[in-house]
Amino acid sequence: MGYNANMNGSVEYVAESSYATIPTDPTMEWIGAVNKFSPKDKTKTASEKYLKDKEATNRAEAYIHAKTGEELGFDLTYYPQASKFIGLMEYATGSATGLADNVNSFSVGLILNETVSKYSTYEGCVIDSFTLNIPDDGYVSCDVSCTAADKSDWDTTSYIGTGTHASDPNETPLTSEDITSIQIDYGAGFVDVNDAVNAITLKIENKIGYARDLASSNTGRIKGMALTGRDITVELDMDYDSFSMMTHIRSLTELKVKFVLGTKTFTVTGVKFPEMPYEFSSEDLIGDKLSSLQCTGLSIS
């Protein structure tokens, strides 16, 4: 009999005050409606052929193998709920209100809920990439890719001590219905977008330098990390009302894009679209996806 992830699995997280160390007696936080959690644990190995001793047989198969380390991390997809919306996203932007020139680490707790439950943790988790997907029809989703410094083995002793596990707020996740405004500033203030915006994608890619130390006690031998760069891009999937935006795009005008999702207002600045693709089709509207170059600012209010 195998494990049913939906029936047995739980995922939660908590901020770290010390890198790669889960707090003592932590108050765990709810991520959102987690759809998928995919570990990326990989054992690093060294394999070499060698010359066996004189009396040995099977000389053609003379291999030695050794473990040299581990690469740890995971991919995560979840549907954000209003009261927990910015929670995990803050670890991609550096701040709950937008961008900061840093990234903070967190620990993730995994639970197999059984008669005797089992527990494991990822520690020193840092977000490498975060994508907010707002579809034309359906749930808003967040795709997250993380690197971790350490991972504990499964154990029947909970990692929370006298702390608490996260609880589900039992809110319906955000959907495309929760978009209430989409505006662009072409240089004279924000105005409503006349084109039909079918979908919005906001991507945050963090470039992080990981300091590896041979003497580190962490499984991944990562002793510390630092943000070295960040790429923010926005994509607008649109059906064009006119070609008025073409002038701004051909001149590479710096724009601002603002949208309201639930109770949060996202403002992306320093937006430049390098092209406005379109196609004349006998059976479709004129439109396509506008993909920006790297943007220079993001605020959340």
Q: Output the pLDDT for position 58.
A: 86
Cα–Cα distance, 133 to 97 (Å, whole number)? 19
Q: How confident is the model at residue 95 (pLDDT cuts 50, 70, 90)?
A: very high
Task: Report the mean per-residue pLDDT for the chain.
Answer: 89
Please give the C-alpha separations between residue 92 and each of 146, 162, 207, in angstroms, as whole numbers: 10, 29, 11
Q: Output the pLDDT for position 272.
A: 92
- Give 203's strand partners: 131, 233
Kindly list the domain boundaries of the chain, sorted by start residue.
Answer: 5-43+63-300
Cα–Cα distance, 246 to 288 (Å, whole number)? 13
Q: Output the pLDDT for position 56.
A: 86
Q: How confident is the model at residue 1 (pLDDT cuts 50, 70, 90)?
A: very low
* Tokens representing residue 56 in the block: 């040995």
Mean pLDDT of 294-301: 96
Question: Does position 195 have pLDDT exceeding 80, yes or no?
Answer: no
CB–CB of 35/141 below 8 Å? yes
Residue with the two structure tokens 């193998």? 65
* Tokens representing residue 110 in the block: 């995994």
CB–CB of 183/193 below 8 Å? yes
Q: How does strand 222-239 pair with strand 297-300? A: unpaired
Question: Does position 238 have pLDDT exceeding 90, yes or no?
Answer: no
Cα–Cα distance, 117 to 99 (Å, whole number)? 39
Mean pLDDT of 275-292: 64
Q: How confident is the model at residue 9 (pLDDT cuts 50, 70, 90)?
A: confident
Span 246-258, pLDDT tens digits: 677 767 889 999 9
CB–CB of 66/45 below 8 Å? yes
